[in-house]
Amino acid sequence: MTGQGPLAGIRVLEVGVMLAGPYATMMLADLGAEVIKIEPPGGEISRQVSDSYFASLNRNKQSVVLDLRSEGGQRRLGALVAESHALLVNMKPSAIRRLGLTYEALRRYNDKIVCVALTGFGMDGGDDPAFDYVIQAGTGVAAMTGEPDGPPTLPGYSAADNSTGLTAALGLVSQIVSGRGGQVEVSLRDVVLSQLNYRASAWLNDGVAPQRHPYGAHSYYVPAQLFPTADGYLALFITHDAFWRSFAAEADIEGFPTMAERAANRDEVLAVVTAALANDSAKGWEARLRPLGIPAAAVRSLPDALEAMPEVVVTAGEFRLVRSPIRVSGYEPEYLPPPQLDEHGPARAAHSYSTTTDSDSGTP
């Protein structure tokens, strides 16, 4: 580690399950916060998925086992809250209240504590299961994703969980900066709908419903989609007219000089571009277009992408992981491995205890 992290001196308690909550606090830990992961006897359920899965969400943390359903566990929780800045939990609302993980329940220990509740539909939204895929289906994401004549589909990763985790981290830090304790709520539903910003606005204001286009084409910009090439697929994202001029010159295409003309003649533009791109491979086009400042990339598999960008991979103990996406001048995190169960708390006899019925978000 070089320098001091911007969150050095901040202690955050996490009662996290699976993905969204643990991802939020890992981002904070990477920035120098002391994160204490409070786990039930037997461990947080994501330990059962795989060691690498757990490591991808829990590096740089401490682990303390508390049975929050017991008087002793509640007393220890109160002692930790008294010495902490924030507590983040992602469970069903009923479980959050039952376990006393709200500001109203914890303010007697520390009236400056920031309590972040990460749920599926809000603290007053009920206990319906709210895993990533369920939220993406229920908010319209799945319906607008895929080929026009194909079935609805989902991204290849847990976009709703990760986005909600980042939003929860922002809410937590914002309330700490305010200098006031209090309750912060973030829900998967609200975050995903917020991220559908221009899609939702088009419907609410203009009555324009989302429409699927082949190859994941953008609703407004043309050409902005995946294209088949002589070898592989190319993502081409032409927005500004200057991009089009440079691309058209390189691809020997004439006409359609303005954004409005390209949008009005979508089918014709796409046919011309598709024919031009068939003359070279995806990687060939990428090599030709990037020096011209044109947004383009060959479609790669994740293994190929990680091999091509080794600078994003760090080592945390025995695990190789993707580094923090936040770069702070003068600070480089020390990536520590995920903690062993109760590594930073007094040894406790483990007994059968499961949080699966309380979990509110996170997909393996």
Q: How many CB atoms lie within 10 A of CB 179?
A: 7
Q: Give the separation between CA 354 and CA 132, rounded to whole angstroms.
A: 20
Rg (CA), the chain: 24
Provide the strand spans (E) within 48-100: 61-65, 86-89
- Find the helix packing angle between 188-195 and 197-206, rounded to 10°: 70
Query: In this structure, what token pair is assigned to residue 219?
Result: 């609703």
The DSSP annotation for 227-290 comes to EE-SSSEEEEE--SHHHHHHHHHHHT-----SHHHHHHTHHHHHHHHHHHHTTS-HHHHHHHHG
Q: In whole angstroms, what is the distance from residue 272 CA to residue 276 CA?
A: 6
Separation CA 242–CA 363 (nearest Å): 42
Helix (H, G, I), strand (E, B) or coil at 305: helix
CA-nearest of 137, 164, 142 to 152 is 142
Report the C-alpha gap between 32 and 127 in whole angstroms.
33
- 342 is annotated as an active-site residue: no
What does DSSP say about strands 114-119 and 86-89: parallel, antiparallel, or unpaired? parallel
Catalytic residue among 30, 161, 342, 358: 161
Residues 118 and 208: their CA atoms lie apart, in Å, by 31
CB count within 10 Å of CB 161 equals: 30
Q: What residue type is 220 in one-letter code?
A: Y
List the catalytic residues: 161
